[in-house]
Amino acid sequence: MSNLAVLPILIPLIAAITLVFFNGNVTVSRVLTRLFSLVSLGAALYIAWHAMENGTIILETGDWAAPYGIILVVDRLAALLIVTTNLVAAACAFYAPHAGLGKKEYYYFYPFFFFLITGVSGAFITGDIFNLFVFFEVLLMASYALIVLGGDKVQLRESIKYLLINLFSSMLFVTCIAFLYAVVGTLNMAHIAERVQEVDQQGILTTVGILFFFVFATKAALFPLYYWLPHSYIQPNPVISALFGALLTKVGIYSILRVFSLIFVHRLDITHELFIWIAILSMIFGVIGALSTNNIKLIIAYNIIPAIGFIIMGIGVFNQDALSGSVYYLVHDMIIKAALFLIVGAIAYVAGTSDLRKMGGLIHYYPALGWLLFIAAFVLAGIPPFSGFIGKLQLLQGAFGDGEIILAITALITSLLILYSIMKIFIRGFWGEKDETAGFGTKSVKGMIAPIAFLLALSVLLGVGAEFFYPIVASVAQSLLDPQIYIDSVLKE
């Protein structure tokens, strides 16, 4: 038992509440935001270090013993994701004042920002399925607030779709919890896992599991449930898009990873086989979407879908290599997606348009931005020595090792097309003649470059320094394959 576990949700919550009171004063808000994001990051790092050294951190909230009360569980997986979330949040916090939010900064932008982080962190560390739903609500409500912030017509039109589809999936989520509770009579995930194991996931349980999968898959934007995502994610300001792209869908895929490595693991032939096909289709349709458009923001938004496909691929294959690949890819994708959204946000800002056809020769004015995009393209496509490669390599080893040839080859082709979709932006947007008449080069990217470079540096570090990270990820994968570890840490304290 350690109160440490509550910090990842407590600090952003306090930050959010504090910032409500400083809403009128943007200067103070900005300073406080940076300060809080760094404090939160520091706490996350300390907690992660603690969890790595001393094992899973458990907090029985209100001192109600497991499995009766709500338990917060910071295991290595949660710790990794908390740290990544806070890294992304910090980069966004530093980028935000330069992102052209304009007057929106006066409309509770920063409180919503921290509420979102609260929800995301909470979802990662809770050990209770109903509490997971509550944190989903927190992050969704914050996201609704952010997506409509300062809304014009188009933004509101796309927001309403986002809102209604998520509302529906929340309803389905709660229904699923009720179904599950009816069968196993408990809400603590470790306890559920124990009981599902006891009856060997027989009868209706697999069906309920699949229904849970669809709930999370809607949030994670998997095939064929991602329609709401691309157009709604590009409406708000780039910082918000970055937060959404990096964190929201990842909460969905994390939930799948958790639930289908802990609870529903006794009918792999049905559940995980399904994931493999969904992975293939998500990769193909997602990347086709990314190729279909000349809107640079939309290109990045569509690229969320194949990335999620990669992660679900590892969950589907479900062996040591594949799972560590999924976890590696998850962390990698949170960072690079944030970076890419921030990059295209900056491009659209300086070019005055997101339409690739109206750009060209930007490298003459913004070389740093151009090269950051160039590197980001290779990071995203999983070209070594960057972070994407390490994850992809493990996924491929896992898939080939299990004889999933079609899956592995789809993943390889998808990588190529992902690279193409981003390089298109570089070639058409940055290369080309210096066009004096287009009026590029008048706006400054000062303040935007550093956060982007920070995120990309992390990606490079995750790749080049894989020797440091890989053992951690491998141990996460190992514990995912053995749910008893999680169950014991929660129930046998």
Identify residues 263-302 at the interface with another protein (CB under 8 A): 267, 270, 274, 288-289, 291-293
Name which of residues 388 to 407 contact another protein (CB under 8 A): 389-390, 393-394, 396-397, 400-401, 405
Q: Which two tokens stand for residue 464?
A: 């080049």
Amino acid, res. 14 = I
SS3 sequence of 104-148: HHHCCHHHHHHHHHHHHHHHHHECEHHHHHHHHHHHHHHHHHHHH
Residue 419 binding another protein, by CB under 8 A: yes
Q: How far is the CB of 45 from another protein (least distance, A)?
A: 22
Q: Is 331 in the site for another protein (CB under 8 A)?
A: no
Residue in 38, 52, 179, 352 binding another protein, rule: CB under 8 A: 179
Interacting residues with another protein between 335 and 354 (CB under 8 A): none
Integer Cα distance of 414 and 307 in angstroms: 10
Q: Does 416 bind another protein (CB under 8 A)?
A: yes
Shortest Cβ 343–another protein spacing (Å): 18
Q: Are 80 and 331 in contact (CB under 8 A)?
A: yes
Q: Shortest gap between Cβ of 145 and another protein (angstroms)?
A: 3
Q: Three-class SS of residue 295?
A: strand
CB of 342 to another protein, least distance (A): 23
Place of tokens 């997986």: 77
Q: Which CB sits closer to another protein, 53 or 433? A: 433
| Cβ atoms within 10 Å of 223's Cβ, excluding its own | 22
**44, 54 Cβ separation under 8 angstroms:** no
- Binding-site member from 28, 31, 167, 182 for another protein (CB under 8 A): 182
Dihedral of CA atoms 435, 436, 442, 444 in degrees, nearest 10, equals 40
Footprint on residues 3-42 left by another protein (CB under 8 A):
13, 20, 24
* Contact region with another protein (CB under 8 A), list: 37-45, 101-109, 311-319, 485-493: 101-109
Torsion (CA) 192, 193, 196, 199 in degrees, nearest 10: -120
- For the segment 189-208, give every residue that binds another protein (CB under 8 A): 191, 195, 199, 203-208
Interface positions, 474-493, toward another protein (CB under 8 A): 474
Q: What residues numbered 111-130 form the site for another protein, per CB under 8 A?
A: 111-112, 115, 118, 122, 130
Nearest to 72 by CA among 45, 90, 51: 51
Two structure tokens written together for 35: 């300060």
Residues 140-169 that bind another protein (CB under 8 A): 141-142, 144-145, 148-151, 160-161, 164-165, 168
Q: Residue 28 or residue 412: which is nearer to another protein going by CB?
A: 412
**In whole angstroms, how close is the CB of 310 to another protein at the nearest point?**
14
Q: Which of 184, 248, 276, 313 binds another protein (CB under 8 A)?
A: 184
Decide whether 103 or 446 has the Cβ nearer to another protein.
Answer: 103
Size of residue set near another protein by CB under 8 A:
115
| Dist CA 400 CA 421 (whole Å) | 26
In terms of phi and psi (left: phi > 0; alpha: psi -120 to 50; beta: otherwise), the region of 433 is: beta
Name which of 42 and 371 has its Cβ closer to another protein. 371
CA distance 44 to 82: 6
Instruction: List the interface residues with another protein, window 215-234 (CB under 8 A).
Output: 218, 224-225, 227-228, 230-231
Residues numbered 441 to 480 that lie near another protein (CB under 8 A) are 466-467, 470-471, 474
* CA dihedral of 125, 128, 132, 133, whole degrees rounded to 10: -170
Q: Are 172 and 215 in contact (CB under 8 A)?
A: yes
